[in-house]
Structures are given as C-alpha cells and as structure tokens.
Amino acid sequence: MDNATFGGAQDLFYSPSPEFPRPTFIKGEGIYLWDIEGKKYLDASSGPATCNIGHSNPQVLKAMAEQAQQLCFSFASTARNLPNIELSQRLTQLAGKGFERALFVSGGSLAVDMAIKFCRQYRYATGEIKRTKLISCQPSYHGMTLGCLAVSGDPAFDEIYSEMITTSSKIEPVMSYRRPSDLSENDYAILCAKQLEQQIISQGKDNVLAFIVEPVGGSSTGAIAPPEIYFQEVRNICNKYGVFLIYDEVLSGSGRTGTFLTHHQWSDATPDIVVLAKGLGAGYYPLGAMLTSAKLVEELSSLTGFNYAHTYNASPLACAVGNAVLQEISNNQLLENTVTKGNYLRRQLISLQQNSKIIGDVRGRGLLLAIELVANKQTKEQLPFEYQATEQFKKLALENGLFIYGRRSNNGKYGEHVLVSPPLNINQEEVDRLIELLALTINKFEQQLSQLRLI
C-alpha cells in the first residue's frame, strides 16, 4: 500500500474546500507566522483568539523546558503538584473576590462541561434535584463536547445531535447592530434580558439550573459586546429565581478585553462561575479552568464533593505554562497595552469602515474586535450565501500576508464577520501594519465584489 494512504493533516476530516487552501505553518515568532514556503503572515487573530502573548515567547518556552525536566505528569485525583498550587493562587487573585477556587482541565470545552456538572452536582447535593434545565443564547458557541453542543446555539449541530442530547432552551443575544431601529442599545439589551426571565418561567422556575452566556461574543457572533445594563439585569433575574450564572470567558477572558475578566469592567454583574481557556495557555499547552467561590466549593465538599477528573486535569506541565503566561501578562503590563492598542485599533477600523462599502459594523472590547461584512451598509443586506464571503475574504487576506479568523454565524442567518484579535503584546507599529494589510484586503475584496456585481 502506498504510504500516501496513511496519515495526513487534521483538515482531511473537514469538508473539502480546494478553493480555499490552508497554509502549512512551520514557524511563529511574536505576532508573525511563516509557512512551509517561507511566506510571512501577520497573525491578526491570534489563531482563534488564543495566542495572547504571541508566538515563541522565550520566558514561556523556558518555563516549559524547566518543568519538563522536573515533572511532566501527575494525576490530580491521587497526588498534588506545585505548579497547580501556584497557578491556582495566581489565577484566583487575578479573578478576585468570589473566585477563590480554580479547577484546571485541558481546554475550553471541558471547562464548560465541568461548570455545568458543578452546578448540577451542587443542586443535587442540596436537594433541588428538579433543577436540570439549561438556558443559553441563539446564536452562541460553548464548545464541542456533546454537553457543550447542547448549550451552543447552532441549528446545524442541533439537527445532527438533538436526538442524542437534551439541548438547552435558547434566547436572543444582544446583537445590537441588527436591533429594531426604534430601540436604543440599552432598551434592546433590557428586552433581551427579559427573555431570560420569560424562559425561566416557561421552563418552570424550580427546574432551571443555569444560564450560560459569553460576555463578549466569539466566533458565533463576531465580538458582540452587550452593554453593562444587560448583565446587571441578567444577574438580578438569576438571583430572583436561584439560577446559576455562568460566564463563558474561554475566548474573552485572560485579559483579552482589557481587564483580566470582562465583568471586571462592570458593577453588580458578577457571575457564579467563570470558565477560561484559550489565552490561559496562550497556545503553548492545552489549558482551561473553571473558577467559582470558596463558599460553593466548601458547601459541596461537605456534602458529596465534586469527584470528577480527567487524566490531564491540573497537569504540572500545563500549570507551569499557565503560570508563565500570567507572569508575562503582568510583567509586560499587557492589560494596559490591550486597552491602549485596542482603542487605537478600533479607531483605525472605524476609519476603514467609513471609507468602505462593505464594512457594516465595528464592534468588540479591548483586542477582541470584529468587522461585519455586508452588501449594503445602509440596509445591512448580507452578501449572497453562495458567495461564501468570509472564506473569500480570508483567502485574499492570506494572499496579502494576513492571517485572520472569520465565520458566517449560524450558516449565515446572523451575518458574516471577521475577528480582529491580535496578540495582546502588539505594538503600535504592528497595529499600523495590520491595518495596512487589512485595508489592502478590503480593497481587493470590494473590487472582486464589484466585478461580480454584488455591490
């Protein structure tokens, strides 16, 4: 048998798309990537908003090497390890009051899964065994395990798995760009929050376990950033009905929006549980975390405990990486840099929008930003489905040496967007270069659309 029959890249499992080839990367340094042919790309999306401190950070690589020489693995169910203890203390101090305990896993999906299990175990242990219902948003994305797909809002997955799993009830997220024209952003946000109360009542107020939501949207919504009043309303509703509030900060957390956790920017909107991943390991090692209060953990521990473990929970190598990443964020004032460079990048994106025919919206927080692609800025009409706008845009960007992450939400129902989420250590010169390459891509994209008479 020919050796070519064996192996192959991961994308062989995905839908074939010869029109949109994927580069093969062999090197990364700072905010740049190089492919197998030597071409250089500016990483304008940090992968999927993961490589928060850039590629090949020497301090993280040093920490990895040193830990690998001492202890690579220790099973958290049977033994403790020092990097776990250090990371738990460092992370919970950054998270602040109400998040004194951290449980570590090997990615975002498992962190979400653990959060849901924790809520259920707690209610079961305290005698509220009828609380099994979950509520989330449509569209939304919370991971790829079956449990995570159950709370994610994407009909494509529901169609396949709905007979296997009980999917959550869905409410509308705060997609302000496409809100009714007669509503202010705050009024629309309050209206969306009230859908949560309506859904709790509909499901039975004693039956609802938790509401999970992204404080700033990721791949499913293109960095939608609801106003503070939405989360204050949601917090009040969850308090009223005894529903756990989970913030999925897998993508928006770890400093990505300018504060370590996004809710640090608000008052009276603290969740019961936060989940983190992506930027916590920053692409150097798979790492996720579930954060909650000492009070909840101690109460559950005194009853049944939370006795769920995965092989790589609190891996010493993963925790050593997490410690090094958080140290780099602190040592290099990356939260402050995220605010200043995020504000600057946003201004530049708005300038591009003003001079573009196809950028309908610029949104997000910090260095988690997005542009929405439209056929008509006045009517917000979407580009034709069969054109595959985001794929065409990404292809042009790659040709220009720009690596970005774009997606059509819910198979195009809620628009098409491109995330602009470079590493948090980007400098102003690099932002200018990003904008230069993005402007070039937009111009070529518009030329292509004009030739096809789509704009």
At residue 18, the pLDDT reads 76
Q: What is the pLDDT of residue 1?
A: 44
Name the residue among 250, 312, 246 with its Cα closest to residue 282: 250
Which of 108, 316, 299 is closest to 212 using CA atoms? Answer: 108
Chain-centroid distance, C-alpha 368: 9
The residues pairing with 29 across neighbouring beta strands, listed in sequence order, are: 32
Give the mean model confidence (pLDDT) for residues 18-37: 94
Q: What are the structural domains of the chain?
A: 3-53+333-451 (3.90.1150.10), 59-331 (3.40.640.10)
Q: What is the mean pLDDT of residues 427-454?
A: 98
pLDDT > 70 in the chain, percent: 99
Mean pLDDT, residues 5-32: 90
Specify the range with the lowest mean pLDDT, choosing from 78-82, 157-161, 372-376: 157-161
How far is it between the farthest Cα atoms of the chain?
A: 68
Give every CB contact of residue 294 below 8 A, 6+ residues apart in sequence.
100, 101
Res. 290: pLDDT tops 80: yes
Q: What is the pLDDT of residue 409?
A: 77
- pLDDT tens by residue, 140-155: 999 999 999 999 998 8
pLDDT beyond 80 at 383: yes
When pLDDT is cut at 50, 70 and 90, the band that residue 209 belongs to is very high
Strand partners, 55: 30
> Between β-strands 133-137 and 169-171, what pairing exists: parallel, antiparallel or unpaired?
parallel
d(CA 263, CA 253): 9
Q: 241-274: buried (b, 16+ CB within 10 Å) or exposed (e) per residue?
A: eebbbbbbbbbbbbbbbbbbbbbebbeebbbbbb
- The amino acid occupying position 347 is R
pLDDT at 15 over 90: no
Reported confidence tier of residue 4, pLDDT bands at 50, 70, 90: low
| pLDDT greater than 70 at residue 326 | yes
Q: Could you give the CA distance from residue 266 to residue 256 in angstroms, rounded to a whole number?
A: 16
| Calpha distance 331→325 (Å, rounded) | 10
Position 159 scores a pLDDT of 86
Does residue 21 surpass a pLDDT of 90? no
Residue located via tokens 């797909």: 149
- Residue 2 pLDDT > 60: no
**Quick one: pLDDT band at residue 352, thresholds 50, 70, 90?**
very high
Least confident residue range of 292-301, 408-417, 446-455: 408-417
How high does pLDDT run on average in the chain? 96
Q: Taking residues 73-80, what's their average pLDDT?
A: 96
pLDDT of residue 253: 98
Contact 222, 409 (CB under 8 A): yes
Q: What is the pLDDT of residue 407?
A: 87
Of 243, 239, 265, the C-alpha closest to 252 is: 265
Q: Which residue has the tokens 């439209």?
A: 374
